[in-house]
Amino acid sequence: MTVQEETAPVPVLRVRDLVKEYGEGDARVRALRGVSLDVERGDYVAVMGASGSGKSTLMNILGCLDVPTSGTYLIDGADAGRLDEHQLAVLRNRRVGFVFQSFNLIPRMSALANVELPLVYGGVALAARRERALAALEQVGLADRVHHEPNQLSGGQQQRVALARALVNRPALLLADEPTGNLDTASTRDVLEIMDRLSASGRTIVLITHEDDVAAHAKRVIRLVDGEVVEDRRQAPVDGPPPRLPQGEDAA
């Protein structure tokens, strides 16, 4: 009798020979030059590089906000290159959570309404999305700010709202593009503490940063130069707080 081998887990990200070019002829620029990498479930990866290294281009492709010139990339097992625009939109909504440097919150909408937006687009019923949005805001320490609008919140609080919005759809992948770039030292510490706890709870995180202090929180550092991976190393992340996420963390 043959013993079946266990099926290897599917990486959250599988990227092969990713190339991205802009322009034509003499004006052609190769922003990515054959990038390949895997990100396993539960990994916490910092992607680093100077301006023009290709890290933001890579981020946009991984988040299905842009398409490569060539190469393949799978998100949670789904081949993004084979999907049409509607299917890509569904993939973005259900599998990827975004956190941007500029927060990207909608003015004159409460924190709760901002966090509910991905669920609205996903067709989740009102009662369910309200419950999940409240849980996500509690998860980032803003249970007492649910009815505040962005202009009534500090920068750090706005970024925590953005984190809650990114988490509310239970994404397979959290993509954070310079999430502390507009924050003061105390707010940076608060946001990184939350991300440390998310990582400790098993979340998969890919973080774009140019700051060594931020990258020190990750389990793995990938460095890009001129669109190529020149370093990919594991590291022991800095000591962070214990994973004190509320019960039912997966509900957010």
pLDDT tens-digit map of 34-67: 999 999 999 999 999 998 899 999 999 999 889 9
Mean pLDDT of 73-100: 92
pLDDT for residue 78 is more than 70: yes
The pLDDT assigned to 168 comes to 96
Mean pLDDT of 201-211: 95
Instruction: Indicate the helix (H) or strand (E) that contains 32.
Output: strand 29-39
Percentage of residues of the chain with pLDDT beyond 70: 91
Q: Is the pLDDT of residue 3 over 80?
A: no
List the one residue out of 148, 156, 174 whose CA is nearest residue 249: 174
Q: Where is 176: in which H helix or E strand?
A: strand 173-177
**What are the backbone dihedrals phi and psi of residue 176, each rounded to the nearest 5 degrees, phi first?**
-125, 120
Helix (H) or strand (E) holding 208: strand 205-208
Which amino acid does the sequence have at 173?
L
**DSSP letter assigned to residue 133:** H
Give the closest residue to 43 by CA, choosing from 247, 159, 195: 195
Residue 28 CB: number of other CB atoms within 10 A? Answer: 10
Task: Give the pLDDT confidence of 135-146 residue by residue, as tens digits.
Answer: 999 999 999 999
Nearest of 93, 42, 48, 66 to residue 223 by alpha carbon: 48
Is residue 26 very low, low, confident or very high in pLDDT (cuts 50, 70, 90)? confident
pLDDT of residue 76: 92
pLDDT higher than 80, residue 69: yes
pLDDT tens track for 108-134: 999 999 999 999 988 999 999 999 999
Q: What is the mean pLDDT of residues 207-214?
A: 94
DSSP letter, residue 136: H
Reported confidence tier of residue 9, pLDDT bands at 50, 70, 90: confident
Arithmetic mean of pLDDT over the chain: 90
d(CA 147, CA 208): 30
The answer to whether residues 12 and 39 touch, using CB atoms and an 8 Å cutoff, is yes
